[in-house]
Structures are given as structure tokens and as C-alpha cells.
A and B are shown apart, each in its own frame.
Chain A
Amino acid sequence: MDGADVQLHQRARAVAVAASVLGAAAALVPFGLVLRTTRIDRGVSVSLASALGVWGAALVACWLAVAAMALSRMPLRTRGVAASLIAGAAPVLALWRAGAFAEAYAKQAGELSRVSLGPGFWLTAAAAYVAVFAATAWLEAGPLRATVSYAPFAGIAAVLASGAVSGIGIAREYANNADAFVRQLAVHLGYVGASVAVGLVFGIALGLTAARRPSAEPLVFGVLNVLQVVPTLAFIGLLYPVLTGLSRSVELFAALGVRGVGWAPVVVVLSAYAVYPIARNTHAALASIDPATVDAATGIGMGALRRFAMVEAPLATPVVLAGLRVALVQSTAGAIIAGLVGGGGLGTFVFLGASETASDLMLLGVVPIVGLALLFDRGLSAIEGALSPWKEPA
């Protein structure tokens, strides 16, 4: 083990302790769950610790245990597995018991009442995410680390599937909107897929152009930079007359359903945003290839095409994928705006919930977006790692 490893392990210790403190605080803050008599009632907040009774104490105990392990001299492997499993168990436990609490509350306060997950719960989830991330740094990369990293997600999925949480507000909103949810999720993913696909094509093309012709670089990134800083809504507003004009003058566009509002401006705007990170990374990846490598490749007799296919493209791919990852996460979050301009997607629930002051309905839109963003981030990181075994493991 070298110095860098030791330093990393020490830092993970500090991060795990900080996350534990955050987790314990999240269990104790007085807005863990929100109890409402009706769906749109402002409600009263209680802490997770007090609402969950003895399980609340267990939740706090989990965090104390994680902090204690982080500071202990336990062997790295044991410490990493135990701490990440316990930290990962905290939100699973909180969710499961909150479900039981919600059922009990419904019996007492009536069918119209709601129990919503409050900031305390989301903080618990965030703290667990950070703590697991830190604790898995004590483990060697491999199947064990992957298993304990993803175990909490499996736990959450199991609790959701068991129906134990069907009494919680967001689950009830889901039950009321299940068909619409599936449809809007598909629309949302459609936006992400379309914009990232366009981003990939243009991003790689522009990145390559900028790398091959340094004179084109300021122009390419100048334009992309400007696009990047135009706020989403303003961008859609600017497109409105253009797209309206197009659909009026060109029949094909009209037939496709291109209008100043709806899906068309959303796809254009998200695509424009998605180009930048991919173009940037493509350019950076090619520019960062050691000139000696290119010289050697040419000198041992690789033609330009073969050199690109055998040397430059494989070296650039992980970096381009990192750009794709940024674009994916950005588009996933950005596609919320479609809900505001009649384009559908998960944003529909967010804006509808906001107008009705039904916070659980907003969460029905927001939580899957956060989940998708995390999923894309994790998934692509894993692919990047698998594609670049020659690099220092992260």
C-alpha cells in the first residue's frame, strides 16, 4: 500500500464521520416526517427518531456505529463492509418503519390523511449515500465492493416492492397516477435519449474539429459557451417564434407536431446543452494524448485511419464517456422544464404538484429524476472504469 492509498483511507475516515453526524442529525431534526390531515394540508412535522419509536433509536445507533467504525482500527476490509452495510441500512430502515408509521397514522386520522417523507428522511438518504461512498473506499475494487455499494439500492427496492410503504404520501400519489407516471417517465427518458444522441453526434464532430483545427477551436467553444449560459426558459422563449414560424411555413414540421411549445423546443434546448460537455471532453481527450504516442504510432507505420482507430479513439473514449455522463445527468434534470411548456415528462408532476401545493406529487416527479441521474452517473462511471483498465484505478 502506498502513500496515496493511506491518504485516501484517512480522507474516507473523515468523510464517513461527517456523514454519520449528518445522518444522526437527520434522524433528530424535528422535520423527519410530515403529518397532514389532507393531501394539501400544511401539516405538522415530527422527527424520525420520535416517530419511529424504538426503531428511531436504532436509526441513531446505526449512525453512531458507523462513526465509531470509521474512527476504529478495525481491518480495512471488515471496516469497509460493516460500515457501508450499516450506513446503507439506515435509509432502508427509515423507509420501512415510516411505512408502518403511515399505516398506523391513517387508521387514527382517517383515509384522507397523509404521511409525507420530510427533509429529515431525504437527508438520511443523502448521508447514507455519502457514507457508503466513503466506506467503500476502504475496499479493493472488485465484486465485494460492488455488492456492498449497491446493496442499499436493492434494500430500498425490496421495501418498495413489498408494499410496506404504500401508506406514505408519495406512494399514494403514485398509486393514483400510476398510468400517467409510466407514460411521463417514458416521455422523460425520450427527451434524455434524444438530446444526448444529438449531443453525441454534434459533440464528437465539433470536438474532433476543434482538436484537428486549432483555428476553429475559439469559434466552436465560443458558440457552445454562449448556448450553455442561456437560461433554459429564455432559450425556449427565443425559440418560440422560430419554431412557430417553421411549423407555419413548412408542412413537414407541422405534420411532425413541431410548435413553439411542446416537445420540439425542449428537444432543441436540451440537445444544445448536451453538445457542450461532449464536445469539450472530446477535444480535451484528443488534446491530452501524449504527442510521443502519436509520433511513435506514425513512426512504426500506422496510417492516419489506423492510428485513429487503434490509438487515439481508444485513449479518448473514456474521457468522451465522462462528457456523455455529464450530458446525461444534465438532460435528466433539464427535462423537467418540459412539464412547464406542455411537453410532458416527469416535470408534469413537479409543476402540477407545485400549483396544487401537493408536495407529495412534486416528489413523485423529483425523486425519480434524482434516481435516474444517480443511476446514469454510476452506470457510466462503471463503464468508463471497465473500458480503461490501463489507468490508475479511481
Chain B
Amino acid sequence: MIEIVGLTKTYGDRRAVDGLDLTIPTGELTVLLGPSGAGKTTVLRCINRLVEPTSGSILVDGVDIATLDPVALRRSMGYVIQNVGLFPDMTVRENVAAVPRMLGWDRRRIAARVDEMLEMVGLDPERYGDAYPRQLSGGEAQRVGVARALAADPPILLMDEPFGAVDPLTRERLQREMRHLQAKLRKTVVFVTHDIDEAVLLADRIALMRDGRLEQHDTPEALWRRPANDFVSRFFGENLGLRVIIRHCLADVTLKPLPHDAGGLPRVDAGVSLKEALAELVGRRARALLVMRDGRPAGVFDFDVLVESLSREDGRARA
């Protein structure tokens, strides 16, 4: 658990962070969201002491990080940034091995771990292991960046707009993979972005910031249904509901029973999100979809099902 208490950082007269209190639960992905200049990155960089706060403190599992050696502290946290920052003179393997090497792991353990990490982020170690960063695409480079951050298995992962510099298609794919990765690894992730869709898709909780202060800290569903103030509802806009439904999949909702003549309906897999199912309805100009689970019809999805599922209380289990 990361507890941020009364964190303030001033640059001259400007208060980048202004008395922020925020608790980031263990094993959850917390997105720091807000317009540019809100102080998100400053907060993130205070957590690994790349920035020293003007006042306030940060506790990790109850220990004030100001009492720790910053270099050792950083080795216990993965760090991923927008411009990746791979070491251009090192191969992909050497980049991923950087932290384990500093921690003094033995050679064999490092080699095995590096290959495991590359596979985990979807890069073939045979093909990419000996490549240099200049030979990678933006998306591939950021996968290596994530692998490097996770190599020493740190409990905490800090990500500063990690997918901000890649093209939209790659970004979407990386976001989806990040979601699966986090479902598996359950790290304590602090993720900075200004992209609402990215925040809604990835976050367990969103901490919405403005001018260095916290406006609201809650699940995306709660931000949608119970915005704390005007700024929150204006920031997310009218269609936050439409965005939130990407978090829930057809398998989570109560479908209508199968009719007798369902054969003519367009089919859709139970694994897709409500957003994709809705897009399918619109795209096919259909009134209903036949939901398939494990290759067998499981029920019918239509607009009534969607409205019904939204009217139930939020905060349900995610896909």
C-alpha cells in the first residue's frame, strides 16, 4: 500500500502538487488522471524520489520512503516512461537484464528471467533478444520497457504515460495486453495518463487531479454515477457511461433466455465487452445478438439487457 500524506511540491511560486492525500491499495491499478499541469507526473516521480517533495510524506507499506536510500528504493519499483528510455548501446536482453544485474543475480537466473519477461510482453526472445533498440518499432520498444521494469519482479510499478507515444492501433493492443498482464500479476500499479478511455479501461480506481489537488478517487463506475463535483462531471463529459461499459463483458451480465428461432441472429462471443457488443448491434443494424459461450448459445443480448445491466449497482467484478 502506498500512502501519500499531505504531499506538496512547489516550483518557485507554482504549486505542482498541493497537499495531496491519496491511498493506493496493494495489488490494484490506480490511474492518476487529469488535464496537463495537474501534477500527475510530479506525484509519480515523488513515489520513487526522482522528485523530492517540498512537504508531506509518502509511506510504502508503512515505511516513510524519505528514510530509505533512493537508489535501493528505485530498484524495488518498476519504472516505465513515455519515451521508453531504452539504453541504445545495449541489446534488448541487456536492457531487460539491467535491474537484475544491479541486484547481483547470477548469470543463469538473469538469462532465464529475461527470456521469460520477453515472452510475457509478447516478444520472441530468439528474434528480438539480440536486437538493438534502434531496430525496434515504437510498440516493440515499449514492450521491452515494460519487460525491463518487471524483470526484478518489483511489487510496485510506476508508469508515466507509457503508451502515449505509439500509434493508436498499437496503443489499443498494448492497453489490452496491459490489462491481461495486470489481471495475472496483480502489481501495485500507479499509472499516469490524460487519456480518459485508457484510464477507464485499465483502472481499478481513478484518482482525478486538478491543479495539484485530488478531485475524486474512486472506481470508474462510481465516477460516472456519483461525480463529486462539477469539475469531475465536466471532465468526463456526457458519455462516460458509454466508456465505462468497455469494462464489463457479456459473460458478466444476465442475458435473455434463448428464443425458439435464434438461428437467424448475428452471433457474438461472450468474451467481448459490452461496448463491443453495442457496436456490433449498431454495426449490423440488429435488434439482438446471439451470445456464444464455449461455442454454444448462452442467451440473447439486446438493448434491454444493456440498460438492465447498467441500472444495477456498480463496482461489480471486472472481466
Contacts and interface: CB of A to CB of B under 8 A. Distances in A.
B83 A292 contact: yes
Interface size class on chain B is 20 to 34
The listed residue with most B CB atoms (<10 A of its CB), out of A299, A303, A306, A388, is A299
B134 A391 contact: yes
A254 B247 CA distance: 85
B102 interface: yes
7 contacts: A293-B87, A293-B88, A295-B81, A296-B145, A297-B85, A299-B79, A300-B102
A311 B149 CA distance: 17
The binding surface of chain A is classed by DSSP as: helix
Interface in B58-105: 71-75, 78-79, 81-90, 98-99, 102
Nearest to A317: B89
Given A301-B102, A390-B89, A292 B134 contact: no
The binding surface of chain B is classed by DSSP as: mixed
B85 A295 contact: yes
A392 interface: yes
A392 B132 CA distance: 10
Interface string B137-167: 0000000010011000000001000000000
Nearest to A296: B85
B48 interface: yes
A302 interface: yes
A177 B315 CA distance: 95
A301 B50 contact: no
Contact of B81 (A292, A388, A391): A292
Nearest to B72: A301
B63 to A, nearest CB: 17
Interface of B: 48, 50, 71-75, 78-79, 81-90, 98-99, 102, 132-134, 145, 148-149, 158
B154 to A, nearest CB: 9
Interface of A: 290, 292-303, 306, 310-311, 314-315, 388-392
Contact of B74 (A298, A310, A315): A298
B83 A301 contact: no
Contact of B134 (A297, A302, A390): A390
Contact of B89 (A299, A314, A392): A314
Contacts of B158: 299
A390 B71 contact: no
A303 B75 CA distance: 11
A302 B71 contact: yes
Contacts of B102: 300-302, 306
Nearest to B131: A390
B87 A297 contact: yes
